[in-house]
Structures are given as C-alpha cells and as structure tokens.
Structure 1
Amino acid sequence: MEPAQHADREPADQTPGDDRPTADRSGGPGIGQPLPGPSAGAAKPASTRSPRDMAISLLVLLVPIALLLAFYRGFLGGDQPTSVDPTPAFEQARAAAEFPVSEPSGLGEGWRTVRASYRAVEGGATLRVGYVTPEGRGLQLVQSNVPPEQLLPTELTERGQPQGQADLGGGTWQRYTARGNEQALVLLQPERTVIVIGDARDNELREMASAVD
C-alpha cells in the first residue's frame, strides 16, 4: 500500500491565481495585441450632387443676371451711344469763318449725334460731326477747307476712288469708295469740301447729303 499523502500538500496541477498578469478583462486590447486602424480598402463617401442639381444651381444664378441685363438694355438704353449737342461745334466753325458751314436740316426721326468737333489742322480747319443713323449704322459729316488732294486721302484712305456722280439737291456729288465696307459722297466746292462717309446704306448717305446741300 502507498503511504497516505499529507493533508496540507497542494496538488501539482493547481491553476494559476488571479494575481498573474492576464488580458484586460474590460474588453480592451491586451498586451501584445495590435491597435485597430482604418481599413485600407475603406471607400470615401461619394458626392451626392448630380449633374442635374448643378445645372439647376447654375440656372438660378443666371436668371437674375439675364433679367438685370434686359432691364439695362430695354429701359436704360444701355446699348445706345450717348448723344451730344453739336451746336457748340457748328457755332465755333461759323465764328472762325474759315469756310461756309452747313448744318443738316430736315433729317427724319432716329438720327442721333454722337460726336462733334471743330479743329484747326494742317492746311486749314475741319468740322467733323458723327451720327448714328435710324438703322443703327455709323455716318460722319466732314466739312473742311483743307485742299482736296490732301483731305480726301486722309478721310477716305489711299483706296478711295471716284465711282461716278450722284445728283442731289443743288450740287453735284461724287461717289467714292472708302476704307473697309464704307462708302462716301463728296461735294467739291471752291471754298470747302463736304464729305458724307460711313457704313450706312445709300439711302441714308443721300439723306444726309441732301440735308447739308
């Protein structure tokens, strides 16, 4: 028979006590365990704005701008050139008495004066008045005592060439080509030369020429 074991002898396979280091029982990471990080494959949140939403936002911005532009053009005359009073320029030319001065008379509605000046230049003096015609085209009235051989190349450029006569009123006008798409009517007189030039139509050129003849 085997001798009886001593009562106070502990068994050899006793489990470890609570004072040994163990994993944190609170549920957190234990010693040696890696901290959780963001997943490498995590996708970024996609934008929720569709092309339709962006188009609507752009339209909301453009509508007030279009309304303001229409008001500016329709009611305030935003596209219309500023009209001026040509009277001081005509009076200055008459006072200088360099040449006879004719002021247009009898023009129809819609003619607007946009510039007017009288200046002494080499060889004489020149009165220059710019208009916008009823059709919205540009036209210029030039009266000068500068010799024609000097004046015409300046006003019509070297390309200006006579194209025949145009009988208007009491004088005989000459048709001329001019720069670009412009054309001109020229009246040669002993004391002055009158030029009506612009991109206006022939009927408006003739109306202005008749008004100063």
Structure 2
Amino acid sequence: MEPEERRPAPATPPEHGPDPSVPTPDPRPATDPAGHAPEPSTPPSTPPSTSPAAAMFDPAAPGPQPSTPADPAAQGQAAGVAVAVEGEQSDAQAQAAAAAEPARLGKRAGRSPRDMAMSLIVLLVPIALLLAFYRVVLSGEAPVTVDAAPAIQQAQSAGAFPVAVPEGLSDDWHVTSANFKRAPEGASLRLGYVAPDDDAVLLIESSVPAAQLLPAELGKEAKPRGTFRDGEAAWRSYLARPGETALVLTDQTRTIIVLGNSDEKNLQALAAAVS
C-alpha cells in the first residue's frame, strides 16, 4: 500500500498581535542629516474675504436668511376660506336673480281683462277684414261658374233633338258644368247647377230612349211619386237614388230630367225655366 498523501494544514492567523510579514511604520518623526527633527508645517493663513460673493458662501457672514417653507395646513385653510367666499358670492347672485324673476312674472300676471280684450281685438280685426275682402270683393265663397253657351250651341247645331234653354233663373243659380256628348244610342246635353241653397242640381236633355235613359240616370229602383204641372207641361216626380229627387218630362223626340238633392221648390223652378 502507498502511504497516504499528506496535505498541508491551513494557516491559522494569530489571535493577537500584528502580522510579522507586514512592516510596521516608525512612529518617530524623520530627522534631517544634522539630526534635528523638522518643525511641523503650518498652513498659511488666508485673510477673510470682504467680497459679497464670498459672504454668500460664508456661514458666519451676516446676510439674508433662507425663507422658511409655508405650512401646508395653513395653505389649505386659506384655500378653503377663498372657496367659501366665492360660494357665498355665488349664492348671493343666485338669490338676487331669483328675487328679480318673480317681479317680471308678477308684472305680466297683473294684466287686466281689458288689456287682454284689446290684444284679442288687435289680432281679430285684420282677420275679419281679410275675410270680408275675400267674400265681398273676390266672391270667395261663390262657386266657380262656367259658360254654358258653347255646349248649348253645339247641341243646337247637332240637331239631334230640340234644345230647351233655361230662362228666367235668378242670380243665385250658378252653372258649374256644361257638356254635349254623342253616343250610338243618342245625344245628350248636361248642365250642372248650384241652387240657391248651395245644393247641386243636374239638367239632362237627351235623345236616348226613356226606357234606357231613366234607369241609367235615376237608378233601377227609382219610383214615381206624383206629378208637377207648369202650364201645359206635366212633369212626373221620382224618388231616385238615396237623397235625390227627379222631375221627368218626356215626348216623342227627347227626355228632360231635373235631378238633385236640393229642395223640391228649386227643382220645380229649374223645370219651369225649360218648359
């Protein structure tokens, strides 16, 4: 067997005393060649500066002392006082505005009935004048009238039947339509009127046979109910469509019908005008 390798023991530093390997400086002052110890050096003294810049950096020099920072609590208290003052001013302004508003409302509410009536009159008078001008000058409520002469002349020129022209009607009668038409079964003249009671009345003169014309104009359920005489002419009265009455005059060449929802006296007046 080979002998075990011996390892060197770790060096243990001495517990006390300096390391003998480190040289110890000599505490004695160095001496010159003559054997005298040098005198200790004294730094040269510097006279105090009298310049202002130096005085600023000199702690012992008199001068302005640095400002002490403000207390945050004092600043917050001052800000709260300012906000409270502004709030009181805003409240005072709002109260002043609220006090002024009822004064204006009270002035309006204090109008008398006479003032209100005068205001209404001022508004209504121009409207009344405009309505009067529309009715009287422009005849705004009068129905739109047409000239029946061209249609009557056309029917007379056709010679399909003797044309009876209404005569003697008052100015309260207004012609609103007029036309003449030919058809294979015959020719017809139609004149539309507005009666004095503002109801519509239709005058029909036709060469179409009565058996065909009456159901077409009066309705299939029309029923005779009496007779109206004007001189030698005898008109038969019919109940036509709901709300309508008809007067019918027939002969060998033509049939005349007066039809409308007007009062029967107006229908008789128109029938008498063409008899």
Would you say same fold, with TM above 0.5? yes
RMSD: 3.8
Give the match for residue 201 of structure 1: 263
Give the match for residue 252 of structure 2: 190
Cα deviation digits, residues 135-158 of structure 1 (max 9, x gap)? 333221110011212211221122
Measure the CA separation in 2 of the matches of 1:27 and 1:98.
Answer: 114
Cα deviation digits, residues 82-139 of structure 1 (max 9, x gap)? 1211110000001111111110122234222121111123521210111122333322
Percent identity over the alignment is 42
Give the match for residue 20 of structure 1: 71
Q: Which runs of 5+ in 2 are unaligned?
A: 1-67, 82-86
Question: Bigger radius of gyration, 1 or 2?
Answer: 2
Match of 1:138 among 181, 200, 222: 200
* Structure with greater proportional strand content: 1
Match of 1:110 among 159, 169, 172: 172
TM-superposed deviation, 1:26:
9.3
Query: RCO (CA 8 Å, sep 6+): is it higher in 1 or 2?
Result: 1
Match of 1:75 among 134, 137, 160: 137
Cα deviation digits, residues 158-195 of structure 1 (max 9, x gap)? 23211122222222211011223221110011111000
TM-superposed deviation, 1:66:
4.7
TM-superposed deviation, 1:62:
6.1
Give the match for residue 218 of structure 2: 156
**How has the CA–CA distance of structure 1 residues 180 and 27 changed in structure 2, closer, same or farther, with 3 Å as cutoff?**
farther
Measure the CA separation in 2 of the matches of 1:172 and 1:88.
Answer: 29
Match of 2:221, SS state, is coil
TM-score using structure 1 length? 0.72
Measure the CA separation in 1 of the matches of 2:70 and 2:174.
Answer: 107
Measure the CA separation in 1 of the matches of 2:75 and 2:194.
Answer: 94
Measure the CA separation in 1 of the matches of 2:245 and 2:260.
Answer: 6
Give the match for residue 161 of structure 2: 99
* Structure with greater proportional helix content: 2
Match of 1:179 among 222, 236, 241: 241
Cα deviation digits, residues 44-99 of structure 1 (max 9, x gap)? x899587x9xxx6x956666445423431233211111121111000000111111
TM-score using structure 2 length? 0.57
Give the match for residue 5 of structure 1: none
Number of positions where the alignment pairs a residue of Structure 1 with one of Structure 2? 192
Give the match for residue 121 of structure 1: 183
Q: Which runs of 5+ in 1 are unaligned?
A: 1-16, 31-35
Measure the CA separation in 1 of the matches of 2:167 and 2:71.
Answer: 119
Measure the CA separation in 2 of the matches of 1:66 and 1:153.
Answer: 49
**How has the CA–CA distance of structure 1 residues 107 and 20 changed in structure 2, closer, same or farther, with 3 Å as cutoff?**
closer
